[in-house]
């Protein structure tokens, strides 16, 4: 049946909800708010429709299904990244370090880190959906982020092969660092004793002596400083090798 047919239930279902007529931005914002509040497992077309005050079928004109909705959440994260970067730009649309490729990469990394910490429940999608969606089918906001990073690397004088290598390393470090930062470490948040708070009593001391010793330090986030220090070390290796 052709999309847009009068018999299409997605067309018949009204998309005027409790917040007025829907649009894609409003649907994705509501989906992200739901995931922020209750996690990815709570997200479904029916539940999102209830949040917006419309029938689930009305959402299919904005997302073709659950996978498309998940891709939309990735899009929403990268759109927020664009907004953060634009807000940091100077009056002519460029920040003070726009012509310095390393400072540009640091700015992108920090803004991405901030977006991820603002939406930790959605962060797993940055790995799972990118593993499922080929390059050309990724949301435009994601592709624009790739373009932004590669433009800085080309500006730095890297040829295509070297730029691709730095791009992969930059992406791996950034998303890997964020994933480690967001791993849950506290076993019992109401426990005042640090050892019991981390659940060290659950780890066999004979088999995991070093992990038990280092666990309190691992429980502390590295923060933006750790992100920046690791990125500098990584970029230094590429510059030295070149």
For the domain bounded by 10-64, which CATH number is listed? 1.10.10
Q: What is the pLDDT of residue 97?
A: 44
CATH number assigned to the domain covering 67-181+233-241: 1.10.357
Summary mean pLDDT of the chain: 89
* Measured distance CA(226)–CA(177) in Å, rounded: 9
How far CA 23 is from CA of 15, 44, 70, 154, 228, in Å, comes to: 9, 18, 16, 37, 38
Please give the pLDDT value at position 59.
92
pLDDT value for 169: 97
* Three-state secondary structure string covering 36-75: HHHCHHHCCHHHHHHHHCCCHHHHHHCCCCHHHHHHHHHH
Per-residue confidence (pLDDT) for residue 241, from 0 to 100: 78
For 159-188, write each residue's pLDDT tens digit. Answer: 999 999 999 999 999 999 999 999 999 999
Domain boundaries, the chain: 10-64, 67-181+233-241
pTM for this entry: 0.85
Query: Which residues of the chain have a pLDDT value below 70?
Result: 1-20, 90-99, 242
Is residue 71 a contact partner of residue 50, using CB atoms and an 8 Å limit?
Answer: no
State residue 5's pLDDT score.
44
């Amino acid at each position: 049946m052709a999309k847009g047919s009068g018999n299409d239930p997605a067309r018949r279902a009204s998309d005027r909800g409790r917040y007025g007529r829907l649009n894609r931005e409003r649907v994705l914002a509501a989906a992200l708010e739901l995931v922020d509040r209750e996690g990815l497992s709570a997200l479904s077309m029916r539940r999102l429709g209830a949040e917006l005050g419309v029938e689930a079928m009305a959402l299919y004109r904005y997302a073709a299904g659950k996978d498309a909705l998940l891709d939309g959440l990735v899009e929403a994260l990268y759109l927020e990244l664009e907004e953060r970067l634009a807000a940091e730009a100077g009056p002519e649309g460029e920040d003070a370090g726009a012509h310095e490729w390393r400072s540009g990469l640091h700015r992108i990394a920090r803004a991405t880190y901030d977006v991820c910490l603002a939406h930790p429940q959605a962060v797993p999608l940055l790995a799972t959906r990118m593993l499922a969606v080929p390059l050309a089918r990724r949301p435009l906001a994601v592709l624009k982020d790739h373009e932004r990073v590669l433009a800085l690397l080309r500006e730095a004088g890297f040829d295509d092969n070297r730029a691709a290598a730095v791009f992969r390393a930059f992406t791996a470090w950034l998303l890997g660092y964020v994933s480690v930062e967001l791993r849950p470490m506290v076993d019992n948040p109401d426990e005042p004793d640090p050892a019991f708070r981390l659940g060290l009593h659950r780890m066999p001391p004979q088999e995991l002596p070093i992990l038990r010793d280092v666990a309190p330090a691992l429980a502390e986030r590295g923060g933006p400083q750790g992100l920046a220090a690791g990125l500098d070390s990584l970029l230094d290796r590429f510059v030295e090798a070149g």
